[in-house]
Each structure stands twice: as structure tokens, then as C-alpha cells.
């Protein structure tokens, strides 16, 4: 289905949740037409705040760079209007296998443009989580610090972050109880990248300045050659007056600070056999000549002095709006600065970096936001989005799926409800002392009951059919773009979808007029993994692995259908609206 609005593209752009030049969240207080359509759609199908900032956000661009970003947004707008006109004329003489809307005001167009803006302006996991936190706060979700007691005895919308790289967001009704379970969508927000080494300083080579980086998961392969790379991440800054340390997000924006050059083919394959050695040949070049001005006495006091190029430290200090001497630590990575774009004759694709898996994360959060019409005072439901870090390297970190942030939030939620029922004001599980042992056992039993009655969607991108390599896919088991959410199955437990999960998702899709696709790997092909098995073993809940299809997975730049962000929002919103009633109609264990 195509949920349309009637606002022109330049008006639609004004409602995007973006950063103004002062790095403040900016959006209209009223929902966009697409948001209203989404809320009305799910409402009809189902029948029925304060934000505490936990870190300072550094000034990420100079005035010149801000002007470049603003100019880029204008160029994007003009290009889309131009391409839309071209696509409309092309459509008169051409046909495609899938329906493609050329109306820039449509639901799918809207969220595709939003997603592209999101990925362009939030290059790291830190930035993505920060973006989602500000979006949720703007939509009246309260930020709850994990180290504090949870005051959530009534119905509420809240979110918890951990380390700036993981998040759990919750919409819980006042009448919710453990036997109602939770309906959750879990995705990962990390993406393949190249991280700066603890000491990135390298000896120059005949005047060329190099940067020491380490591959995160499968990055720094040949696909990273000859790309324009920026730098972004989080830096710890000590306040000059108080001496307190806070984190600030920095990004070079469109400024490409380095590049990994390939060796021209004229030298012959013997001179540069692929794959290049990651340590010696995949080294970013970030400058030539131009010796640094001598370091000042104050710059030498920075803990980072001598570990990184002084020119780089001065650049980072500029981005963080501080002095070099106040830089204490940094967690930085490289990213492709080429902006996302629409492509295909009828603009049926989007080309973008970091689609795996920020695409599913983006759709999940926006689906949760669309539940704003729920009357929390009357609701007995609990809807959750879990965004985990480090899936690409095994998830065994504090912010990864194995860090059990989801479990922790559910335990705190149950404890807060138990405390409210017993008249206690504390939302922290009391587990010490004999007098509290009964309360601890009650909380433990309630948490187990929650997960036994829950359904978790493990949402990660999946492999769209690549028409040049159709023989690599299992016939009848590959998804297509712009079609619908994909159910993943695997005979060897790499994903968790079972027959009941298939029935549940197909029933929900049928109720809402959505299409469901399926993916299964060939017997003679290796299989990837998701956070699904970890969620299933850590919680005991029923987990269903789903995904949105993309091409060129794990490339520095990938592709997907332009409808995928909107299709994800529709599918996850339908799941939130119908999972409980559908499960109640099934005899399950």
C-alpha cells in the first residue's frame, strides 16, 4: 500500500529531525503527514519527558562545512525534483517488474529521503544512537539513566542508553503485567569500518602523512580502496574550569581527510596482488608536506600528544570546539563521505553506506514512534526496540547483544511494577538480605514469565537477489527489493525462525495487506549470523529472524530498494499492533 501525503518535497524536508547549525534537534512539533498516515494506519488496523542530556555534543563542523552541508541538502532537493520529473516521463515508455512511486511526497519517498539524510549525517554508532535518543526525546520519550532507579510504575514512554552505543526504547501501558509479555524488535547499529589505532601516528614516507587504522570486522578490503574517507566518533574532553570530563561527538562531515590509494594496474599484478596486506598496504594517506607548527607547551599536556599526528589533534580539537590540551581520549573511525543517493531509471533504488544494519534500526525506531496514539492509561501492552552494538564482531561486549541490556531493562521494568504493587517507591530489584529474598524470587519468576510470553523480532538486513549471480541463491528462497519484509530460515540454527514464527508473521501480514518474503541459504553456501540465537538463549523468548533485503552487503557502499525504510516501518508497526492478539489465537509453548 502507498500512504501518501500532499506536501511538496521542500516542505517535507523542513520537518525532518535534523541538527541545526547549533547542533540542536530541529523538527516541527506536529507530526509530518507521513507520520500521521502511519499512526492512522496502525490505529485503524488494531481497532483501538523531559530529556536529560548525558553528554555534550561538540560543534562538528566549521562555518564553511555547515554551509557545505546546507548546500548539499539544497542540491539533494533540486536533484530529487529533477529526477522525479525525469522518472515520470520515463515511466510513460517503460515498465518495471515492481511498482515504483515517482511522487516525491509519497510515504516511501518520504522515509527513503529521511533515511538517506540520517545515514549521511550520522556516520558512527555513537551518532546513530545519539540521533535516535534525540528523536525519541522530541517525541516525548523520557531518558532514564541505567544507574538510576526506574520511576515507571504507570504507563510510560522511555529509553535507556549504554555507553552511547546501545539503546532500549519502551512503550508500556499502565495495565501491563508480566503475563502479557513484550513485543520487541531488535537490530544492531554497528557497521563495518576502520578504527583509529590507540596510537595512529606513523612515520611519514617521502613527505606523505599516513594514518594508522585497524579493520573492524570485514573492513579494509579491496572495496575500501580509492574511497573518499572522513573521520568521526566520540572524544573525551576535560573542561578547562571544572576539570570534569565529558564526551563530544565529532564528524568531518563532507570533508574527506584521507584515502587509501590503489596501485595503478600498469605496475602489473605481481607488484600488488590482491588482497592487499591490511597492515602495510591498506594504509590511509592523509596529507603531503606541510610540516606542523611546533607544539605549544599546553598542547604537549594532552594525553593524546605523541600518539596521533599533531595536525590531526588540532583538527579534532576544532571539531570538538576545545583546545588540544583538553583532549583526553578518542574513539574514532573512518567513513565514506559520498552522500546517499537515489538510483535506477525510475529511482527505484537507494545507494548508501552502512545499510547493514542501520536500515532495520531506523525502521524499528520510527515504527515505535508511530505508536503515539496509544492511551497508556488504558493499555496493557509493552512494545520494545533494542539496538545493540558489535554484532559484526560477535556481540560479546558490554554494549553488544550479549551484554544483556534488554534483560536488564525488562528486569527493572518488572521490579518497578512489583514495587508499585507492594507500595515501594524503588524500581531497583532488591536481592540482598533474607527479608528481601521473597521479593527477589518474585522478580525472577516474573521476568521468566515475561519472556515466556514474548515474541522478539531479530531484524537484520538480508541478501536481495543479485541478478548477476542468481546461481548462488536457492531457487524460490530469495527476496526482491521494494516488495516486503523477509523471513529468514536455516536448518542449522544460524537464525531462530520456526514454523510458528512463520505462521505469526504471515498472519499479521495478511491482516495488514503486507507481503512477506523468505530467505534460505543453499546447502553448498556458507551462512551468516544474527543476534537472534543470542536473544533466544539469553532470554528463552520466541525469536523470529526477519530482515530487509539489500545488495552488496559488507561493501563500503551498498544498495537497497527505495521502499525498504517505509516497508520496515509498516511491517514492524503491524507487528507491534497485532503480535499479542495473533499469539493468543495460537496454542503455543
Query: 468 and 329 in one domain?
Result: no
Local structure of 563: helix, strand or coil: coil
- Alpha helices (H) in 300-347, listed in sequence order: 310-320
Q: Tally the C-alpha atoms within 13 A of residue 159's C-alpha that lie toward its C-beta.
A: 32
- pLDDT for residue 47: 37
| Residue 26, pLDDT above cutoff 80 | no
Q: Do 16 and 27 contact (CB within 8 A), yes or no?
A: yes
Query: What span, in angstroms and rounded, lies between the C-alpha atoms of 174 and 548?
Result: 33
Peptide bond into 75 cis (omega under 30): no
Minimum mean pLDDT range among 54-63, 370-379, 562-571: 54-63
| Residue 536, pLDDT above cutoff 70 | yes
| Residue 97, pLDDT above cutoff 70 | no
| Residue 310, pLDDT above cutoff 70 | yes
In this structure, is residue 247 part of a structural domain? yes
Q: Which residue has the higher pLDDT, 92 or 319?
A: 319
**What's the pLDDT tens digit per position in 475-533?**
999 999 999 999 999 999 999 999 999 999 999 999 999 999 999 999 999 988 999 99
In this structure, is residue 169 part of a structural domain? yes
Residue range of the domain that includes 294: 193-336
Query: 187 and 197 in one domain?
Result: no
Q: Which residue has the higher pLDDT, 45 or 540?
A: 540
Q: CB neighbours (10 Å) of residue 26?
A: 16
Q: Tally the C-alpha atoms within 13 A of residue 406's C-alpha that lie toward its C-beta.
A: 33
Query: 456 and 562 in one domain?
Result: yes
The count of structural domains within the chain is 2
Mean pLDDT (whole number) for 177-182: 96
Query: 360 and 245 in one domain?
Result: no
Peptide bond into 275 cis (omega under 30): yes
Query: 277 and 170 in one domain?
Result: no
In this structure, is residue 413 part of a structural domain? yes
- pLDDT for residue 439: 65
pLDDT tier, 17 (very low <50, low <70, confident <90, very high otherwise): very low
Query: 203 and 177 in one domain?
Result: no
Query: 149 and 27 in one domain?
Result: yes
**Full strand arrangement of the beta sheet holding 542-547:** 142-143, 156-162, 166-172, 382-388, 183-188, 455-459, 542-547, 485-488, 516-519
In this structure, is residue 124 part of a structural domain? yes
In this structure, is residue 345 part of a structural domain? no
Q: Do 337 and 230 contact (CB within 8 A), yes or no?
A: yes
Query: 394 and 382 in one domain?
Result: yes
In this structure, is residue 88 part of a structural domain? no
Mean pLDDT (whole number) for 187-210: 98
- pLDDT for residue 550: 99
Domain end call among 309, 336, 363: 336
Mean pLDDT for all residues in the chain: 85
Domain end call among 283, 311, 336: 336
Minimum mean pLDDT range among 71-80, 128-137, 243-252: 71-80
pLDDT tier, 438 (very low <50, low <70, confident <90, very high otherwise): low
Q: Is 351 left (phi over 0), alpha (psi -120 to 50) or beta?
A: beta
- What does the DSSP assignment read for 90-159? HHTT---SS-----TTBHHHHHHHHHHHHHHH--SHHHHHHHHHHHHHHTTPEE--TTS----SSSEEEE
In this structure, is residue 1 part of a structural domain? no
Query: 433 and 549 in one domain?
Result: yes
pLDDT tier, 20 (very low <50, low <70, confident <90, very high otherwise): very low
Query: What span, in angstroms and rounded, lies between the C-alpha atoms of 500 and 504?
Result: 6
- pLDDT for residue 423: 65
- pLDDT for residue 55: 38
Domain end call among 286, 311, 336: 336
Q: Which residue has the higher pLDDT, 406 or 426?
A: 406
**What's the pLDDT tens digit per position in 329-348?**
999 999 999 999 999 999 99
Query: 545 and 457 in one domain?
Result: yes
Percent of the chain with pLDDT over 90: 73
- pLDDT for residue 62: 36
- pLDDT for residue 588: 79
- pLDDT for residue 436: 60
* CATH number of residue 440's parent domain: 3.40.630.10
- pLDDT for residue 289: 93
Query: 165 and 209 in one domain?
Result: no
In this structure, is residue 230 part of a structural domain? yes
| 110-132 per-residue burial string, b: 16 or more CB within 10 A, e: under 16 | bbbbbbbbbbbbbbbbbbbbbbb
Query: What span, in angstroms and rounded, lies between the C-alpha atoms of 251 and 429?
Result: 40
**Beta-strand relationship, 166-172 and 382-388:** antiparallel
* CATH number of residue 223's parent domain: 2.30.250.10
Q: Which of 553, 472, 459, 558 is nearest to 218 (CA)?
A: 553
Query: 199 and 130 in one domain?
Result: no
**What's the pLDDT tens digit per position in 99-132?**
333 334 599 999 999 999 999 999 999 999 999 9
Percent of the chain with pLDDT over 70: 79
**What's the pLDDT tens digit per position in 354-408?**
999 999 999 999 999 999 889 999 999 999 999 999 999 999 999 999 999 999 9
- pLDDT for residue 418: 83
**What's the pLDDT tens digit per position in 35-45?**
455 555 454 44
Amino acid at each position: 500500500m502507498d500512504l501518501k501525503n500532499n506536501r511538496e518535497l521542500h516542505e517535507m524536508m523542513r520537518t525532518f529531525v535534523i541538527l541545526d547549525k547549533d547542533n540542536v534537534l530541529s523538527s516541527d512539533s506536529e507530526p509530518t503527514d507521513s507520520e500521521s498516515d502511519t499512526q492512522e494506519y496502525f490505529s485503524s488496523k488494531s481497532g483501538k519527558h523531559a530529556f536529560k542530556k548525558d553528554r555534550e555534543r561538540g560543534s562538528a563542523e566549521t562555518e564553511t562545512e555547515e554551509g557545505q552541508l546546507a548546500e548539499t541538502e539544497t542540491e539533494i532537493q533540486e536533484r530529487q525534483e529533477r529526477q522525479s520529473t525525469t522518472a515520470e516521463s520515463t515511466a510513460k515508455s517503460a515498465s518495471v517488474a515492481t511498482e515504483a512511486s515517482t511522487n516525491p511526497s509519497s510515504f516511501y519517498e518520504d522515509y527513503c529521503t529521511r533515511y538517506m539524510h540520517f545515514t549521511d549525517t550520522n556516520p558512527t554508532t555513537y551518532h546513530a544512537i545519539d540521533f535516535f535518543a534525540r528523536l525519541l526525546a522530541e517525541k516525548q520519550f523520557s531518558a532514564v539513566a541505567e544507574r538510576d532507579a526506574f520511576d515507571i510504575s504507570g504507563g510510560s514512554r522511555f529509553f535507556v542508553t549504554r555507553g552511547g552505543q546501545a539503546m532500549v526504547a519502551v512503550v508500556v501501558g499502565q495495565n501491563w503485567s508480566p503475563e502479557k509479555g513484550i513485543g520487541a524488535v531488535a537490530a544492531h547499529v554497528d557497521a563495518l569500518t576502520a578504527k583509529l589505532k590507540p596510537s595512529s601516528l606513523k612515520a611519514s614516507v617521502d613527505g606523505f602523512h599516513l594514518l594508522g587504522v585497524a579493520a573492524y570486522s570485514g573492513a579494509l578490503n579491496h572495496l575500501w580502496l580509492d574511497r573518499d574517507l572522513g573521520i568521526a566518533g566520540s572524544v573525551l574532553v576535560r573542561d578547562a574550569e571544572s576539570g570534569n570530563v565529558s564526551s563530544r561527538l565529532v564528524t568531518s562531515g563532507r570533508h574527506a581527510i584521507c584515502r587509501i590509494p590503489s596501485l595503478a594496474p600498469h605496475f602489473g599484478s605481481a607488484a600488488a596482488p590482491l588482497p592487499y596486506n591490511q597492515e602495510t598496504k591498506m594504509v590511509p594517506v592523509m596529507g603531503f608536506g606541510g610540516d606542523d607548527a611546533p607544539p605549544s607547551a599546553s598542547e604537549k599536556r594532552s594525553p593524546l600528544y605523541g600518539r596521533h599526528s599533531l595536525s590531526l589533534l588540532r583538527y579534532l580539537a576544532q571539531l570538538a570546539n576545545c583546545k588540544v590540551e583538553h583532549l583526553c581520549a578518542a574513539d574514532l573511525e573512518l567513513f565514506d563521505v559520498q552522500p546517499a543517493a537515489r538510483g535506477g531509471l525510475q529511482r527505484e533504488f537507494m545507494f548508501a553506506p552502512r545499510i547493514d544494519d542501520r536500515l532495520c534500526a531506523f525502521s524499528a525506531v520510527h515504527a515505535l514512534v508511530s505508536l503515539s496514539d496509544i492511551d497508556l492509561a488504558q493499555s496493557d501492552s509493552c512494545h520494545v526496540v533494542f539496538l545493540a552494538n558489535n554484532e559484526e564482531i560477535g556481540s560479546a561486549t558490554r554494549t553488544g547483544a550479549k551484554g544483556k541490556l534488554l534483560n536488564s531493562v525488562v528486569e527493572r521494568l518488572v521490579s518497578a511494577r512489583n514495587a508499585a504493587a507492594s507500595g515501594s517507591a524503588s524500581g531497583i530489584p532488591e536481592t540482598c538480605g533474607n527479608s528481601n529474598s521473597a521479593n527477589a524470587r518474585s522478580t525472577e519468576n516474573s521476568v521468566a514469565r515475561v519472556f515466556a510470553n514474548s515474541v522478539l523480532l531479530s531484524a537484520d538486513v538480508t541478501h536481495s537477489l543479485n541478478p548477476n549471480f542468481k546461481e548462488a541463491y536457492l531457487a524460490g528462497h530469495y527476496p526482491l527489493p521494494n516488495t516486503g519484509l523477509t523471513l529468514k530460515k536455516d536448518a542449522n540454527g544460524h537464525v531462530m525462525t520456526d514454523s510458528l514464527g512463520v505462521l505469526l508473521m504471515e498472519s499479521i501480514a495478511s491482516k495488514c495487506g503486507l507481503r512477506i518474503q523468505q530467505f534460505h541459504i543453499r546447502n553448498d553456501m556458507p551462512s551468516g549470523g544474527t543476534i537472534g540465537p543470542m536473544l533466544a538463549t539469553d532470554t528463552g523468548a520466541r525469536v523470529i529472524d526477519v530482515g530487509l533485503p539489500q545488495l552488496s552487503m559488507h561493501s563500503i557502499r551498498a544498495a537497497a530498494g527505495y521502499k525498504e525504510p517505509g516497508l520496515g516501518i509498516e511491517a514492524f508497526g503491524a507487528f507491534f499492533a497485532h503480535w499479542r492478539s495473533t499469539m493468543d489465537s495460537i496454542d503455543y509453548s
